[in-house]
A and B are shown apart, each in its own frame.
Chain A
Amino acid sequence: MSASDHLIPVVVSRVVEVNSIIKRFEFKHIHGNELPAFSGGAHIVVEMLDGPIKRKNAYSLMSSPFDRDQYAISVRRDDNGRGGSKFMHEKVEPGMRMNISAPVNLFALDLRARKHLMIAGGIGITPFIAQMTQASSLGVPFELHYAARSASQAAYMDSLQDRFGDHVRCYCDDAGGGPDLAALLSDQPLGTHVYVCGPKGMIEAVVQTATDLGWPAAHIHFEHFLSPPVGKAFSVHLAKAGIDITVGPEQSLLEAIEASGTPVKCLCRGGACGQCETKVVTCDGDIAHNDHWLDDDQRASKQFIMPCVSRFSGKRLELDL
């Protein structure tokens, strides 16, 4: 069972070009019903029917958690990706019907925090927009530090400063660079939780700096927005189902398993949540793991794979599915 088994039919109510690489998509229920309430940091899985291919990508909800009339997501176009963002940018128009999952939150605010310190890089801003709305209504102090490559690519920077004023600090690489993490993280009140969403390097820098400064691990939260990588096609044998499947170059192993009708648990579809962890029965070749879940020993053992992001090259891969 996974959230994307029970889909919500929606209609695309609005598409907004935020800048040259980012578009915002707004969805309403096809019958005008209320959409499920959610918490800041939640994502939905958007199902894309692209010809014969069914893609499912996860996107953070950026709309207000208190607005049940519509949901909004922002999608950064990635021309080198598997085609999901390209599909969203090129094919999705107002009036189109799509299916989405109920919200799932793997990046929730810790509601015990005395202060929320949020650090965003690029498109990693989206979960924080919903979280700031939530924190602001709960009356808990929060602060957003938002870094982008340039002012022209800094989606929502102006509107966030208008809405949240001094709570928002902006940084552009072409105008001085990102925040001084050591300074920022060494001067926070007791009970602060730090949240980071952005490029891998930024997440690592924040986690490392906070850890070095003695922050408890339970006060450091991060979300990787990893999408499944592209690669060469490969074949996999599903031992329990007794079938062979082929994973296309722009398809994920998880999508190929789903397309075969074989049940597999999943949530984040980005190698972070651990739900789709699957036992490998036989591996004659190399697994490109790509995930944030397995530890080094598990990877080296070749006994586990995360179908949402991992790929394979070699003679034979057999999975316990």
Chain B
Amino acid sequence: MTIHFRNETFRNDFTYANSPGNIPRFPFPFPEDVYMYSTNVEPHHATRAGSPFEHAFDVDEHYVSEMKDRALVLADDPGRCQALPHMETAAWDFVELVMVSKARDYPDLFELTIDGDRWHWINKTLQIDDTFVFGDSSTLPCHPMEYIGRQVQGDHAILDQRDGNLWMDAGIITAQADWSLDFDIGMNFFEWHAPVPLAHELGVFQRALKFLLSLPQGQPSRRLNWTLTVNPRLDTSPENYPKWGPDKLTVNPGNIGEKVHLRVELQTFWRLPRSNAILFPIRTYLMAMNEVVTQPKWGRRLHRVMRDLRPELVEYKGLSRYHPMLVDWLAQFDDGAPTSPGIFPD
């Protein structure tokens, strides 16, 4: 399998796009025609060749450009990458998990040679060839979490487990949907989820925490989350709101298909062995409305989901400004025909 890595931007001229072959593998987040919170967690098993669920850490055509965008964000704001001092063991667990998984799943792109504590890592795509001592951070050019975080798509939070709770004690977060690591660092599970409406009352977080605290080694889980973003911008952080907030005002019926993007997070959960922490990768996939509706099932369903979305969620997800316009625009792709179950296109 050869991946042609696109050269594209997630800011300024926004040249990001999905090639036609990449569209059907998008992790469309709606298995039914209505959306409400659910603890939609399933085992992160290898599923469906070619899909983003085939491998532990999906690599796609946007890999190189996403890593360039991450480098730009970190250069501008080093606070996007923070690890409290007790999280170094967990950072090495993260290094191991990514390197072992990628070398196994993409042998053409990544190579890992382990000789006791001496590790040799080759990332052909990013032209990295390093030898280091596993567990000795002085043998890497930067903190182990930053080192591997610059080589894997998606944001990564590392949650310490203690006192019957999870604590946001480390992360490399440059492509977030309007939350801030700098604000959340050191918070526990309920604190960082405090702004989410409805879910607390439904007991969603109590159940989710109980599930995560008992997450076994070697049995990762996954779920999909979603929002909408105007322009294919990865860095929609609160810190940069002045840069992307006004984009919402640029949407009109003539450009809505290219401007508004369905933003899907493939969230996975991994118990880390040496630290007993949990790695929480949040992998973002972006797709313009024009690209989504090339799949008739998705066009129909997205219209129904958006039309019937609870007002609290419209507000929380920041869609109020253009939500009615979007529902009107999507209506042209909904002929009322039934949709098949599941998220994959017909």
Contact = CB atoms under 8 A, between A and B. Distances in A.
Contacts of B274: 37-39, 65
8 contacts: A1-B43, A38-B274, A39-B276, A103-B273, A108-B276, A112-B85, A267-B214, A275-B214
A108 to B, nearest CB: 4
Given A5-B219, A111-B160, 16 more contacts: A2-B214, A36-B217, A37-B93, A37-B273, A37-B274, A38-B217, A39-B274, A42-B276, A102-B217, A102-B219, A103-B217, A104-B217, A108-B162, A111-B87, A267-B214, A274-B210
Contacts of A112: 84-86
A35 to B, nearest CB: 10
B275 to A, nearest CB: 6
A218 B167 CA distance: 13
**Which residue of B84, B160, B216, B274 has the most chain A CB atoms within 10 A of its CB atom?**
B216
Contact of B214 (A103, A111, A265): A265
B160 to A, nearest CB: 7
Nearest to A112: B86
A110 B216 contact: no
A172 to B, nearest CB: 33
Contacts of B276: 39, 42, 105, 108
Contacts of B85: 112
A6 B162 contact: no
Nearest to B117: A66
A190 interface: no
The prevalent SS among residues of A at the interface is loop
B201 interface: no
Nearest to A4: B216
Interface string B174-218: 000000000000000000000000000000000000100010111
**Which residue of A39, A101, A138, A267 has the most chain B CB atoms within 10 A of its CB atom?**
A39
A30 to B, nearest CB: 17
Contacts of A36: 217-218, 273
Contacts of A111: 86-87, 89, 160, 275
Contacts of B43: 1
Nearest to A137: B135
B162 A104 contact: no
Contacts, number: 58
Nearest to A275: B214
A273 interface: yes
A138 B162 contact: no
Contact of A102 (B87, B162, B210, B218): B218
B163 interface: yes
Contacts of A2: 214, 216
A244 to B, nearest CB: 28
Interface string A31-64: 0000011110010000000000000000000000
> What 7 A-B pairs come out closest when comparing CB atoms?
A37-B273, A111-B86, A3-B216, A102-B217, A108-B276, A105-B276, A112-B86
Contacts of A101: 216
Interface in A62-82: 65
B161 interface: yes
A102 B215 CA distance: 11
B273 A218 contact: no
Contact of A110 (B162, B217, B273): B162
Interface in B125-166: 160-163
Interface string B60-100: 00000000000000000000000011110100010000000
